[in-house]
């Protein structure tokens, strides 16, 4: 098994390892941007962030119905609290994404990718 692992560390496998690491990183961040509240599931993306900000700007911040990922209507009693939560999750997740992606990009060998 150790011999097979040594071969797996060969530079010719770099793109495959990089590709797997990038895929799983993106999926990890996607999962962190999934938000369950009041029986619904929301995907925190730029569209949701903008829509919520616009509703608050238009003074619609209490008892607002928003459609979730399945287009089901979900009542959000306090939209300001909802906004704080999704903004917080969005910036935490994207910052993590940025930092981990930078580490991946500067890793120029399979060993470095595994240590990044």
Which residues are at the interface with other proteins (CB under 8 A)? 1, 4-5, 7-9, 13, 16-17, 19-21, 23-24, 27-28, 31-32, 34-41, 70, 72, 110, 113-114
Tokens of 99: 């930092």
Q: How far is CA 87 from the centre of its chain?
A: 12
Nearer to other proteins, 56 or 94 (CB): 94
Residue 110 CB, shortest distance to other proteins, in Å, is: 6
Report the residue number, 16 or 54, with the smaller CB distance to other proteins. Answer: 16
Task: Find the radius of gyration of the CA atoms of the chain.
Answer: 20
Alpha-carbon distance of 8 to 110, in angstroms, equals 8
CB 101 within 8 A of CB 116: no
Q: How far is the CB of 27 from other proteins (least distance, A)?
A: 6
CA angle 87, 27, 110 (to 5 degrees): 125
Is 35 or 82 the residue whose CB approaches other proteins more closely?
A: 35
Toward other proteins, which CB reaches closer, 56 or 96? 96
């Amino acid at each position: 098994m150790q011999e097979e692992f040594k071969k797996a560390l060969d530079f010719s496998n770099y793109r495959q390892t990089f590709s797997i690491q990038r895929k799983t990183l993106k999926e990890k961040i996607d999962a962190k941007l999934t938000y369950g509240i009041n029986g619904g599931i929301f995907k925190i993306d730029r569209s949701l962030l903008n829509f919520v900000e616009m509703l608050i700007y238009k003074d619609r911040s209490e008892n607002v119905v928003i459609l979730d990922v399945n287009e089901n209507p979900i009542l959000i009693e306090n939209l300001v609290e909802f906004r704080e939560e999704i903004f917080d999750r969005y910036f935490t997740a994207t910052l993590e994404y940025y930092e981990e992606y930078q580490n991946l990009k500067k890793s120029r060998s399979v060993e470095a990718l595994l240590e990044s």
